[in-house]
Amino acid sequence: MGRSKPNTKPNPLQYIRYCYGHRLPDSMREWVRNDLAGKGATARMMARVAVPCVIVLLPFWFIPTTLDVHLSMTLPILIPFVYFSHALNKIWRRHMLRVHGLNPDLVDERARQRDAHLHRAYIERYGPRSPD
């Protein structure tokens, strides 16, 4: 029997486990790198936190009551989830990069590329930073 090519993307079960902290096989490192450090990584991570929260809060909306009561039952729970998912986003992504054996500094790679012209302009104007 011939060997099959190793998967480079997770299947649905692997993806769900990965979303909540499990490690994927090494053959999927490039996918993990793009997921955690590529375009849209912050939004993906925030959605992964929000989805379970919304699923838990959804039954509250089936209780027959007014809109303001629905909002007062769900927003005090949903807002902290969104707030903390944003606040801890880079920390979690760095951790997951480390778990997969990748450089945790990849989290800031896009920002470094985006702001490189600012750093070059600073060096041209004021000179390079002195080593402390």
Residues 41-89: tens digit of each pLDDT: 999 999 999 999 999 999 999 999 999 999 999 999 999 999 999 999 9
pLDDT of residue 130: 81
pLDDT tens string 4-51: 778 899 999 999 999 989 999 999 999 999 999 999 999 999 999 999
Rounded to whole angstroms, how far apart are CA atoms 78 and 92? 19
Among all chains, which residue has been given the structure tokens 């929260």?
A: 53
* Residue 73 near residue 97, CB atoms below 8 Å: no
**pLDDT for residue 2:** 53
Contact 127, 57 (CB under 8 A): no
